[in-house]
Chain A
């Protein structure tokens, strides 16, 4: 997997994780906070409605207390003020916002009653309001009859009412209780709507028969004064419930408050917008990061990778990346260039050393074999020579002369004869020895000839031909020459050299080119030219030189006389001082010929410089 793809995957994973994490944090922190705020809002609404109902009860209780502690009321229930009845009517009740008023005397007998739905002028019957007749045992009357005020919610045939029960006394609130005054306000839809307007809370009061069947809402579950229950049927509404107590602290109406879930909606909207913003920000950051990574890391790394692969593939160590960057990748690229250059030098040295080592090994082997062969040869010849010298020292002529002499004593003749016989034997042995030794010497000569023949066969082995970049060869060869004083380059390689591929033996071609370049430099030195230049150009051959590449090495040195243009290619020819000769143009021409090319020289004459053209098979 490429580095670019890995980075893209990592960035996408980071972005995704970032979004998921953000969503998680916001969802677990922000949304619950909004929901909690919403629950508190619902609780607050419940308390507000509850408070307004209590306020309404207090208001009713105050009003009822005023009416109960009134001389007219007191006298009315005692039967002393019949005209009181005339002052009361449905209209007067509606003026004081009361829907029900009942008056009982001290004997618990109804003295009068009114409620708002009765036609004007009609008195209300107790049985029309309550399910049962009110007697002394009824708590509503007994409490007030004992002087205690009672207030609260009460279920009547007219509906649930806010009821206040007060003992009727004289205005100074002294004296015995003359009766009981019950005043009520119906909790009908109109009143609930008024309360809702006052509280700015949407609510309703549910009678037990209208309550939902949820177990949490049952009377026993919401019996305490502080017990509330919150329920969210959907994403738009939060319902709050609280049980209101009746007049006798019994479970009465169920208060249901409707709180819009605006906070949650706002929370979700905030989270959505925040996450959306984070996604956009993440995308922007990651995009910018990706572009920066692409520009600062991936692209230069890709260039470095491509460069390395190109070198690996082409084996051209002369290629350079030349990445102009000051960061770590730039340093890496520069170090790689340096390393490549050093490797190129090392490879060149290794090739030369291998070549020299091979030459040395070959020379050592030849030396060993020839000296081995020469040793018996020399010894056998020496031994044969010694044998012949020994034979030459024999006194054969003197012995024969003395034997032929008639005056020679007989005993001496006998000894001379014995001497001649021994000398003959010695001569035969010397002859045999010399013959054997010369035979062996001949074999050794044949062995030497075989060794030389083997060397000759090796000498005719074709060199290893490679496909070479001409530019690389030129660069390696020109490295052997000094590059002038810095103001002017001695060697100028034309752009035309680049791009040509030739088939040749690398080392041999470099040696030939080095030889030609060194000759050119020395020619410039001989001419004493300070503005000496060696220029190299290349072009594809045409016509008879088609499929060949021509490399021209031109100098402005001493030049060559026309009659010497052939001599310079002869074996042993040199323009150098004694003992400083190089490989020679003879060797260069033969080496190029062995690789399928050739070498030509031209010069306009002394002082006009020279041009050497190397023709090489094109790859």
Chain B
């Protein structure tokens, strides 16, 4: 599952990285949970626990870079399932314009706007970057876990729609 995120704030990009990648100690944690269930009859059932999706997360800090990366990915046949954009990313292209260009080259991709303040309304965004079903808006402050969950949900639909074109 491929996710592209563009935000001019490095600390936010770091949060995305944390939310969209699995911790290194996942195996020890799984062992701990399994042992806890065995010793103390906890509710954890390793046989039923679904492995969380692994994201191939690509980060950038400018709208121009996002368009360039998305374009290159399309040429390589490795289109992104989800593109997450901030609206204000000075000094270059803003997120709305970047979203328009990415939509122009990839009509299937889901675009999520995550911003602290938008100069354009959601209605205007839907008009400029149709269809509304593939456009999402989350105001900051936002839980990156929620963003990651949304990305998972959207990715599953995207994978189904794109068929065998995707590798992850």
B28:A379 contact, CB within 8 angstroms: no
Among B8-16, B52-60, B102-110, the stretch that binds chain A is B8-16
Contact string against B for A residues 4-48, beta-carbon threshold 8 Å, 1 for contact and 0 otherwise:
000000000000000000000000000000000000000000000
Contact string against B for A residues 351-381, beta-carbon threshold 8 Å, 1 for contact and 0 otherwise:
0000000000000110111111111111110
Residue numbers in B under 8 Å from A382 (CB-CB) = 143, 145
Give Cα A237–Cα B161 distance, bound, in whole angstroms: 125
Among A81-89, A313-321, A415-423, A547-555, the stretch that binds chain B is A415-423
Give Cα A134–Cα B15 distance, bound, in whole angstroms: 163
A425 interface residue, CB < 8 Å from B? Answer: yes
B116 interface residue, CB < 8 Å from A? Answer: yes
User: B14, B119, B141, B142: which contacts A364 (Cβ < 8 A)?
Assistant: B119
Chain B: number of interface residues, binned into ranges: 20 to 34
Give Cα A477–Cα B46 distance, bound, in whole angstroms: 74
Contact string against A for B residues 81-104, beta-carbon threshold 8 Å, 1 for contact and 0 otherwise:
000001010000000000000000
Among B33-41, B67-75, B128-136, B150-158, the stretch that binds chain A is B33-41
Give Cα A412–Cα B35 distance, bound, in whole angstroms: 11
A375:B88 contact, CB within 8 angstroms: no
A383:B32 contact, CB within 8 angstroms: no
Given contacts A376-B14, A380-B15, contact A422 B116 (CB under 8 A): no
A305 interface residue, CB < 8 Å from B? Answer: no
Q: How far, in Å, is B31 (CB) from chain A's closest CB?
A: 6
B39:A422 contact, CB within 8 angstroms: no
A399 interface residue, CB < 8 Å from B? Answer: yes
A425:B28 contact, CB within 8 angstroms: yes
Q: How far, in Å, is B46 (CB) from chain A's closest CB?
A: 14
Residue numbers in B under 8 Å from A368 (CB-CB) = 88, 115-117
Give Cα A565–Cα B102 distance, bound, in whole angstroms: 63
Given contacts A395-B39, A419-B35, A426-B32, contact A379 B144 (CB under 8 A): yes
B48 interface residue, CB < 8 Å from A? Answer: no
A423:B141 contact, CB within 8 angstroms: no
B32:A422 contact, CB within 8 angstroms: yes
Which of chain B's residues has its CB closest to A440's CB?
B11
Residue numbers in B under 8 Å from A425 (CB-CB) = 25, 28, 32
B28:A372 contact, CB within 8 angstroms: no
User: A398, A415, A429: which contacts B38 (Cβ < 8 A)?
Assistant: A415
A395:B117 contact, CB within 8 angstroms: no
Residue numbers in B under 8 Å from A399 (CB-CB) = 39
Q: How far, in Å, is B19 (CB) from chain A's closest CB?
A: 8
Centre residue among B117, B139, B143 by max chain A CB count within 10 A = B117
A576 interface residue, CB < 8 Å from B? Answer: no
Q: How far, in Å, is B156 (CB) from chain A's closest CB?
A: 24
A378:B28 contact, CB within 8 angstroms: no
A376:B15 contact, CB within 8 angstroms: yes
Q: How far, in Å, is B4 (CB) from chain A's closest CB?
A: 18
User: B11, B28, B39: which contacts A376 (Cβ < 8 A)?
Assistant: B11
Residue numbers in A under 8 Å from B36 (CB-CB) = 394-395, 419
Residue numbers in A under 8 Å from B29 (CB-CB) = 426
B116:A367 contact, CB within 8 angstroms: yes
A375:B140 contact, CB within 8 angstroms: yes
Give Cα A425–Cα B25 distance, bound, in whole angstroms: 9
A556 interface residue, CB < 8 Å from B? Answer: no
Give Cα A372–Cα B141 distance, bound, in whole angstroms: 7
A259 interface residue, CB < 8 Å from B? Answer: no
B18 interface residue, CB < 8 Å from A? Answer: yes
B141:A374 contact, CB within 8 angstroms: yes
Give Cα A438–Cα B84 distance, bound, in whole angstroms: 26
Q: How far, in Å, is B125 (CB) from chain A's closest CB?
A: 16
Contact string against B for A residues 419-462, beta-carbon threshold 8 Å, 1 for contact and 0 otherwise:
10011011001000000000010011000000000000000000
User: A369, A375, A395: which contacts B141 (Cβ < 8 A)?
Assistant: A375
A372:B9 contact, CB within 8 angstroms: yes
Give Cα A525–Cα B55 distance, bound, in whole angstroms: 67
Residues facing A in B14-30 (CB within 8 A) are 14-15, 18-19, 23, 25, 28-29
Q: How far, in Å, is A59 (CB) from chain B's closest CB?
A: 128
B40:A370 contact, CB within 8 angstroms: no
Residue numbers in B under 8 Å from A372 (CB-CB) = 9, 12, 86, 116, 140
A429:B25 contact, CB within 8 angstroms: yes
Give Cα A416–Cα B119 distance, bound, in whole angstroms: 57
Give Cα A415–Cα B36 distance, bound, in whole angstroms: 10
Residue numbers in B under 8 Å from A444 (CB-CB) = 11
B32:A369 contact, CB within 8 angstroms: no
B39:A419 contact, CB within 8 angstroms: yes
Give Cα A331–Cα B115 distance, bound, in whole angstroms: 55
User: B12, B35, B145: which contacts A375 (Cβ < 8 A)?
Assistant: B12
Give Cα A371–Cα B76 distance, bound, in whole angstroms: 36
Q: How far, in Å, is B65 (CB) from chain A's closest CB?
A: 18
Which of chain B's residues has its CB closest to A395's CB?
B40
Given contacts A368-B116, A422-B31, A426-B29, contact A376 B12 (CB under 8 A): yes
Give Cα A423–Cα B11 distance, bound, in whole angstroms: 30
Q: How far, in Å, is A279 (CB) from chain B's closest CB?
A: 77
B15:A379 contact, CB within 8 angstroms: yes
Which of chain A's residues has its CB closest to B139's CB?
A371
Residue numbers in A under 8 Å from B35 (CB-CB) = 415, 418-419, 422
User: B23, B25, B28, B39: which contacts A415 (Cβ < 8 A)?
Assistant: B39
Q: How far, in Å, is A446 (CB) from chain B's closest CB?
A: 11
Give Cα A367–Cα B119 distance, bound, in whole angstroms: 11
Residue numbers in B under 8 Å from A369 (CB-CB) = 116
Give Cα A429–Cα B15 distance, bound, in whole angstroms: 17
Which of chain A's residues has its CB closest to B38's CB?
A415
Residue numbers in A under 8 Å from B25 (CB-CB) = 425-426, 429
Residues facing B in A208-250 (CB within 8 A) are none
Give Cα A444–Cα B9 distance, bound, in whole angstroms: 11
Give Cα A376–Cα B147 distance, bound, in whole angstroms: 13
Residue numbers in A under 8 Å from B11 (CB-CB) = 373, 376, 440, 443-444
Residue numbers in B under 8 Å from A423 (CB-CB) = 32
Q: How far, in Å, is B84 (CB) from chain A's closest CB?
A: 12
User: B15, B31, B39: which contacts A412 (Cβ < 8 A)?
Assistant: B39
Residue numbers in B under 8 Å from A418 (CB-CB) = 35
Residue numbers in B under 8 Å from A377 (CB-CB) = 141
Extra contacts, 15 of them, besides A380-B15, A418-B35, A422-B31 (Cβ < 8 A), are A367-B117, A369-B116, A371-B140, A372-B86, A372-B140, A374-B141, A375-B9, A375-B141, A375-B144, A377-B141, A378-B143, A379-B145, A395-B39, A426-B29, A426-B32
Show 11 A/B contacts (Cβ-Cβ < 8 Å), sorted by A.
A368-B88, A368-B116, A371-B117, A376-B9, A379-B15, A419-B35, A426-B25, A426-B28, A426-B29, A429-B23, A440-B11
Give the A-binding residues of B (Cβ under 8 A): 9, 11-12, 14-15, 18-19, 23, 25, 28-29, 31-32, 35-36, 38-40, 86, 88, 115-117, 119, 139-145
Give the B-binding residues of A (Cβ under 8 A): 364-365, 367-380, 382-383, 394-395, 398-399, 412, 415-416, 418-419, 422-423, 425-426, 429, 440, 443-444
